[in-house]
Amino acid sequence: MSRTFSADEEFAQKLDAEDPLRSFRNKFHVPLGKDGSSLIYFAGNSLGLMPKAARQIVEQELDDWAKLGVDAHLEARTPWYSYHETLREPTARLVGAKPSEVICMNSLTVNLHLMMATFYRPTKSRFKILMEEPAFPSDTYAIKSQIVHHGLDPKGALMLARPREGEYTVRTEDIVDLIEKHGDQLAVVLIAGINFFTGQLFDIEKITAAAQKRGITVGFDLAHAVGNVPLALNDWNVDFAVWCSYKYLNAGPGAVAGAFVHERHATNRELPRLAGWFGNDPNTRFRLHLEPEFIPVPSADGWQISNPPVLSMAPLRASLSIFDEAGGIEALRAKSIKLTGYLQFLIESKRPSNAGAARISDSYTVITPRETDARGCQMSILVHEHPKELFGKLEAAGVKCDFREPNVIRTAPTPLYNTFHEVWRFATILAAHQ
């Protein structure tokens, strides 16, 4: 791949001119820096940019509220009562699920708790949970509290798959080994689709198969994977998954999150769960005080608790339609592989000691896997000296990326709104400061 790239500016401009998705940038508001020019926005892994269509779609709901009051539940242009239905099919396409296997609701960590309430049923012999390290703090808090909730001690019940000495990412074979070794004691394996820190894309299919072979339930946190890489949750037989929508899905701060429950579980009304009225069969939902028996919808909707948060769902509608217009996640992934591959090429070619290996830098090390199928769009750069200073310089030069203690700069060029020329400018600024 790298042989097909070149480090001069004209080449970046040529890649942009040839990019079939280049017009999609115009569908987003790109924040401006102090000098009035567009920031190089590589922070879509924290908060995706605002689709221009979001304002109008939110205003529509506000108008319907103003005009119709309670009647908007059934009479709004997009009736609020079934608002979540508008998200179902585009969401299912993004995660490779059947429409009945997905539901947009709550926020990510809340959904993780709801899934664990169903799928973490520790017994005397099988009570452990396997996660990767470092996991996102919220996931660790949630999982430890789940363990405590069942009267157990996280010290004995939480197992971590770590990178080997001198390495930054976790080898799939090491996860599989832990599963094999502790298979009888593990109740749940919960791994990120893509690790938030290193950008490592895990082999979801392989981990799922290894765990299920030992009778273990497998869930994935797709916060950094959804809208970033193609997923096939139904085919891969994943038991459950959760994700948020404000990162690569560009649905705005605190946007409504998502959950996947494989159909073999989703249709099982016997599964224990934390219930609320919107998880109940719509036919009896309004006979609440007459038929107090909870009858779950035999789909992922059976985990829905409350009525849909329309104002938080509206921008997600706008955003998901952009994914469809762009030709879906496969088309975006094709550009993404090129964009991030180009970034890696430039970082390496602008180095003083370029020998083509990942971990040779004098001043920084790319800790994201080199292999395309082991990463999404994110590239994490570990800075050996004065990391905060370098980060400050990047910010001053109009780059919006983020810093993770103690020394990692995360950059995420996204195919919907970033350009090859931005990648070139970023690499040029980085090289100037190394």
Select the span of 199-207, 220-228, 262-270, 286-294 touching ligand PLP (CB under 6 A): 220-228
Tokens of 160: 């971590």
Angle at 404 between CA 403 and CA 409, to 5 degrees: 45
Which residues share a beta bridge with 28? 51
Query: Closer to ligand PLP at the Cβ: 101 or 221?
Result: 221
Stretch that binds ligand PLP, among 209-217, 221-229, 263-271, 374-382 (CB under 6 A): 221-229
Is 132 among the residues that bind ligand PLP (CB under 6 A)?
no
Report the residue number, 76 or 175, with the smaller CB distance to ligand PLP.
175
Q: Which stretch binds ligand PLP (CB under 6 A): 31-39, 197-205, 216-224, 295-303?
A: 216-224
Assess 349 for contact with ligand PLP (CB under 6 A): no
Tokens linked to 221:
């946190």
Cβ-based nearer residue to ligand PLP, 10 or 405: 405
Phi-psi category of residue 230: left, alpha or beta, with phi > 0 → left and psi -120 to 50 → alpha: beta
Task: Give the nearest distance from C-beta 224 to ligand PLP in angstroms.
Answer: 5
Residue linked to tokens 């224990």: 272
Nearer to ligand PLP, 47 or 68 (CB): 47
Residue 203 binding ligand PLP, by CB under 6 A: no
Q: Assign residue 328 a region: left if phi > 0, alpha if psi is -120 to 50, beta otherwise?
A: left
Instruction: Compare residues 216 and 251 and give the one whose CB is closer to ligand PLP.
Output: 251
Token representation of residue 339: 């964009």
Instruction: Report the amino acid identity of residue 330.
Output: E
Q: What are phi and psi of 426, to 5 degrees?
A: -60, -50
String of contacts with ligand PLP for each residue 79-108, x by CB under 6 A: ----------------------------xx
Phi, psi (degrees; rounded to nearest 5) at 318: -60, -40
Query: Contact with ligand PLP (CB under 6 A): which of 24, 83, 120, 196?
Result: 196
345 binding ligand PLP? (CB under 6 A): no
Pairing assessment for the beta strands 186-192 and 217-221 based on DSSP bridges: parallel
Contact status: 109 vs ligand PLP (CB under 6 A): yes
Quick one: which of 315, 332, 314 has its CA closest to 323? 332
Strand residues in 206-280 grouped as ranges (E): 217-221, 240-243, 258-261
- Verify binding: residue 221, ligand PLP, rule CB under 6 A: yes
User: Is the sign of the CA dihedral 28, 33, 39, 42 positive or negative?
Assistant: negative
Out of 115, 244, 259, 346, point to the residue binding ligand PLP (CB under 6 A): 244
Residues 301-340 that bind ligand PLP (CB under 6 A): none
Is 61 among the residues that bind ligand PLP (CB under 6 A)? no
Nearer to ligand PLP, 259 or 394 (CB): 259
Using rule CB under 6 A, residue 228 touches ligand PLP: no
In the set 84, 126, 224, 335, which binds ligand PLP (CB under 6 A)? 224
Minimum Å distance from CB 370 to ligand PLP?
Answer: 22
Outline where DSSP puts E strands in 128-264.
128-132, 158-161, 186-192, 217-221, 240-243, 258-261
> In this structure, are residues 300 and 85 in contact, taking their beta carbons and an 8 Å threshold?
no
* Site for ligand PLP contains 192 (CB under 6 A): yes
- Strands, E, within 87-232: which ranges? 102-104, 128-132, 158-161, 186-192, 217-221
The least CB distance from residue 108 to ligand PLP, in Å, is: 4
- Smallest gap from residue 136 Cβ to ligand PLP (A): 3
Question: How far is 225 from 227, CA to CA, in rounded Å?
Answer: 6
Contact 261, 300 (CB under 8 A): yes
Closest to 87 measured CA to CA, from 261, 323, 303: 323
140 binds ligand PLP (CB under 6 A): no
The answer to the question of residue 114 lying near ligand PLP (CB under 6 A) is no
64, 101, 132, 139: residue in contact with ligand PLP (rule CB under 6 A):
139
Q: Which one of the spans 95-103, 161-169, 217-225, 291-299 is the region binding ligand PLP (CB under 6 A)?
A: 217-225
DSSP state of 179: H
Beta carbon of residue 364, minimum distance to ligand PLP (angstroms, whole number):
23
Q: What angle do CA 100, 140, 276 make, to 5 degrees?
A: 40
Residues that bind ligand PLP (CB under 6 A): 107-109, 136, 138-139, 192, 196, 221, 223-224, 244
